[in-house]
């Protein structure tokens, strides 16, 4: 049995989904505006194939935006986003960067705040309104076929 959600709960869930989507829209927008700069940032962090990885990141971020806006595949998307956000935190703002720029520590910690929200969202789902009903389920086997 599904719990009924109050108006404020529905509004809060939709606001959270919009915030998640907006963060990834901003991130992917910067990538599309200058994919070369994104590739340069990735190369500076020591990763191989920076342009390929920049495009992979952009595609992932577009898919996350779609999932957060539609609610489709919401829980898997939130979990993938959580792993991605922590990977980015350690890769681009991790302990090796703190000595050179103290602000990097703040950027690093911010990733954990975002992680907490994503994990909470993954557990509680997209809410009961404005949700596309797509799911990762195997097709049912029909013995009569």
Name the more confident of 3 and 118.
118
How high does pLDDT run on average in the chain? 89
Decide: 115 and 85 in contact? Cβ < 8 Å: yes
Cα separation, 73 vs 29, in Å, equals: 22
Give percent of the chain with pLDDT exceeding 70: 89
pLDDT of residue 132: 73
What residue ranges do the domains of the chain occupy? Answer: 7-124
pLDDT of residue 4: 77
- Encode pLDDT of 95-114 as tens digits: 988 887 889 899 999 999 99
pLDDT category of residue 139 using cuts at 50, 70 and 90? very low
- Calculate mean pLDDT across residues 56-81: 96
| Confidence (pTM) | 0.84
pLDDT of residue 136: 53
Nearby residues of 96 by Cβ (< 8 Å), 6 or more positions away: none
> Would you call 142 helix, strand, or coil by DSSP?
coil
The CA radius of gyration of the chain, in Å to the nearest whole number, is 18
């Amino acid at each position: 049995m599904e719990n009924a959600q109050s108006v404020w709960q529905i509004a809060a869930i939709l606001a959270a989904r919009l915030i998640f989507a907006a963060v990834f829209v901003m991130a992917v927008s910067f990538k599309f505006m200058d994919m070369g700069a994104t590739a340069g940032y990735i190369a500076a962090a020591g990763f191989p194939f920076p342009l390929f990885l920049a495009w992979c990141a952009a595609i992932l971020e577009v898919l996350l935006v779609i999932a957060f806006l539609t609610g489709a595949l919401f829980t898997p998307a939130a979990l993938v986003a959580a792993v991605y956000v922590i990977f980015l935190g350690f890769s681009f703002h991790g302990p090796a960067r703190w000595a050179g720029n103290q602000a990097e520590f703040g950027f690093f910690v911010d990733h954990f705040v975002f992680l907490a929200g994503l994990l909470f969202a993954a557990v509680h789902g997209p809410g009961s309104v404005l949700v596309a009903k797509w799911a990762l389920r195997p097709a049912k086997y029909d013995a009569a076929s």
